Structure 1
């Protein structure tokens, strides 16, 4: 509700589903839904979303019943279509007017967001196939799945030129993105038979995902946010989501202390034409693993997460190498790591010299702080996300007091992170979506104590 006006979305949905199980071994499920929304208009308002899945429990077959190693084995596959319009506003399809005043009289003025009556559902078609298995009397479990997702009609905000009549942006269906990969989960549980017996468990989940932009309204478009002096983020057809336009750094010249850049077009000078679009935001491998143990009522559980292969542009590091004087005639403080720099001829330093005024081969004031691969680092990390130590009181002792269960515990969140030390103060998990990190608040470390009482 805003200024005595109430806005709401009207939706209409129909859903049908059927399941088939034959001899508890052959499984089939099919569904169909039709959704409509007031956020869209005309023929785009309604859409169909079907889904179909099937499974075969091989371990229930007669020829498999005597297998001493494999306790359960299932093949499964599915295909379906889903839709999304959550990011749309109530009236993004319409040209709206706002009320105002001019010289004390009421006026109407066009909204700065231009309507788009061609807005449509963002649709994701997904196919997956996999296998579920349990071994050693169900102690060891495995799930392996291959998936391929194609999202058409990506919803986004498009900037419009001033020549459009005062509009600043417009909602639209941008393009098509494909994700395909493999999910693997493994877990083991020793399954103790009594409270006093030692038991342990372990598990790991891995995701190998490959992301690719199949279609864009324009072959190259802006993405994310831009900070003055930093790299321009883009999405480019044929690459993964999240690319930065950068110069390729050739390191610091040990004689001058200035950065050197690759002349990609071989024209004898460094200019914007020498920049390249470099994918940074997508990891090659992501996942996590957990370890746990219990004995005589005590339990210890740990949870780790990790990411491998993505890169992160450290804008803090780049800005710390700018030594210019501000409007008040003062150079602001720099972090301690800014002292790591070239100082005299012959130094083999990763970071360039501290200098103001024109410098470098291009004789520009920002030569050593141009957006380049020099400030792009490997953002792989391993984080101990959680450690929980607990004690479960013996139920036999609690029965005398009429209490079913009492559990004491302490929990530690974000215990430590192992990362590329060249990232300086950066937390590699923050800002990982766009590939740029600047003045983000790191994930806090917390400690909690508690007691669970069941009455």
Structure 2
């Protein structure tokens, strides 16, 4: 993806001699020909096998008392044989080929993964009606086990060798062949759960329930492996009260409230342990007296262990209303909630000052709260003259805030992503871009800023000390939306059915990291379309910085220049289908037949200039950061048939 975007458009796909075109020898920054990359990977083999199922038994012990046992299994087998080839790009051989003592060598890799998951659940249930009283209860126990075996081997063999991937290890004993990598790791994990719940219902009008579960995970240290999570809820179906019996408005009206907790163990299986990797470094010191710097080999930390890791715990209070009105034509669901999360599990990169530069560390970072509302409103019409339609609307809004952070700095900063008390998680952090320098007078009177010049970005001196430096950084964006919404329209006429689904998001910021390279191509890369409107003396009103071959102003630093409105409105799906009548298809031996046409992502309305306004949510690198590797959504059209025999 990145090669395709940044490849210089002046370079042809093919050279005159039929080889792949490329910048080698042309004095331009080297980017592999993206078409050639696809070509040399065509022989890679990737296969997945999966077998899953379950065995279960139910035993009626007594009236209302049942014991059930269920055993689930899931076997996954994955293989990837990498035999990436080489290609001739403008006279140079590139790709998976290397020269050793004047001879061409090629690298091959074998990757094997085996994953086995077993879940064993035992449940004792009690269900009994006592006139208008109904009691449901159960107790249970569940074990979860996942075992993994990963095997990766990469070899270097003379170019043209036919490699037997199933016996790839043999090549290390053949002359001039080398095993470059050979390792295996099995990140196994286990979980044990005990749980119980009791529910009470009086006359289908008053409801109450309570539950508790105790979960243990091998991902945490032995002192913190278990967490206990209780829940409780009550409900009142007002429409079943005698005073609502003759209501002409409400068919169903229910109030409900709940409080409960759950745990999160979404971390690496071995997060509690330190992991080391082999390290090879070149030394500039002549330790052995032969006039060269030797190669030092050892180990370095890849992950710093944390034996004190414990469950991330969330407790949510919810108040809701369910209503069906006007002969069930109108449906309404409203939920108000507050979710408090403690011992938030996050990952941070260790600083170089600790001698562990680049190593990661999982830790219980602090506390966070979300407050929000969810609304679903629907309408279904009566069928009239063979026509019927429906409308469903959804609306969600929330506010997020980190209330405390446990590390020494009281914040976590990874790139542009900032997490700190008093701010939404994953906020953007950087400099405030205060327009461009447009006159020599602006350059002269501005604070000390290395590289300031006409057409360059002017950064705001937030602390007023007359110098632009790291102390002038601040929160520059919020990736969380004000609200999200959806609109679902359906209609039917005789045997025809029609549907449209719209969705949207409003008020969130997005960090468009793609512009770091496309707007500031200080190398021989392709330029973004924005640069056609770059500042120049004859285009002095432009907001796009002046073109330059150097970056003395450090204009790719995190700043509001890259923060954009991520709001969008989209026609997500359109579908039309026709159901054939039974008398027309029975002669063909069919009991049902349908033909349909559908399209996805037909309309997208947004001011975001990146390739895609939908990027993954909270991750270890932040929220809503669009990078070079993000593939845009595509318009999809499909035609299908559904036949029933």
Same fold (TM over 0.5): yes
Residue 436 of structure 1: aligned partner: 625
Report the count of equivalent residues: 427
Structure 1 residue 403: deviation in Å? 2.8
* Aligned residues: CA RMSD: 2.6
So what's the TM-score if we normalise by structure 2? 0.62
Change (3 A) 1:320 1:99: closer
* Distance (Å, rounded) in 1 between the aligned partners of 2:559 and 2:211: 50
Q: 1:321 aligns with which of 509, 512, 519?
A: 519
Query: Are 2:230 and 1:41 equivalent residues in the alignment?
Result: no
* Distance (Å, rounded) in 2 between the aligned partners of 1:377 and 1:8: 42
Alpha-carbon contact 1:292-1:301 (below 8 Å) kept: yes
Alpha-carbon contact 2:610-2:626 (below 8 Å) kept: no
Residue 66 of structure 1: aligned partner: 246
Q: What do residues 140-181 of structure 1 show as CA deviations (whole Å, max 9, x unaligned)?
A: 100000011111112222333456565823221111111110
1:300-449 equivalences in 2 (<5 Å): 300-324=498-522, 326=523, 331-344=524-537, 347-357=540-550, 365-366=552-553, 368-399=555-586, 401-420=588-607, 423-430=608-615, 434-439=623-628, 440-449=630-639
Q: 1:286 aligns with which of 477, 481, 484?
A: 484
1:240-259 equivalences in 2 (<5 Å): 240-255=424-439, 256-259=454-457
Q: Which stretches in structure 1 are left out of the alignment for 5+ residues?
A: 102-106, 227-231, 358-363
Q: 2:418 aligns with which of 198, 213, 234?
A: 234
Residue 19 of structure 1: aligned partner: 199
Query: Are 2:393 and 1:204 equivalent residues in the alignment?
Result: yes
* Distance (Å, rounded) in 2 between the aligned partners of 1:402 and 1:353: 71
Task: Give the structure with higher Rg (CA).
Answer: 2
So what's the TM-score if we normalise by structure 1? 0.86
Q: 2:265 aligns with which of 55, 75, 85?
A: 85
* Distance (Å, rounded) in 2 between the aligned partners of 1:238 and 1:391: 54
Query: Are 2:231 and 1:51 equivalent residues in the alignment?
Result: yes
1:139-178 equivalences in 2 (<5 Å): 139-162=329-352, 168-178=359-369
Structure 1 residue 322: deviation in Å? 2.0
Residue 176 of structure 2: aligned partner: none
Residue 319 of structure 2: aligned partner: 129
Change (3 A) 1:302 1:41: same
Question: Secondary structure of the residue that 1:48 maps to in structure 2?
Answer: strand
Q: What do residues 77-108 of structure 1 show as CA deviations (whole Å, max 9, x unaligned)?
A: 1111101213231x33244678999xxxxx99
Structure 1 residue 247: deviation in Å? 1.9
Residue 468 of structure 2: aligned partner: 270
Q: What do residues 292-351 of structure 1 show as CA deviations (whole Å, max 9, x unaligned)?
A: 111121111011111000011222224333253x4xxxx322123310122226732221
Change (3 A) 1:37 1:268: closer
* Distance (Å, rounded) in 1 between the aligned partners of 2:490 and 2:532: 44
* Distance (Å, rounded) in 1 between the aligned partners of 2:501 and 2:417: 33
* Distance (Å, rounded) in 2 between the aligned partners of 1:110 and 1:314: 34
* Distance (Å, rounded) in 2 between the aligned partners of 1:172 and 1:295: 58
Query: Are 2:294 and 1:114 equivalent residues in the alignment?
Result: no
Q: Which has the higher contact order (CA 8 A, sep 6+)?
A: 1
Change (3 A) 1:5 1:369: closer
Residue 95 of structure 2: aligned partner: none
Change (3 A) 1:25 1:399: farther
Residue 361 of structure 1: aligned partner: none
Structure 1 residue 258: deviation in Å? 3.2
Change (3 A) 1:108 1:336: closer
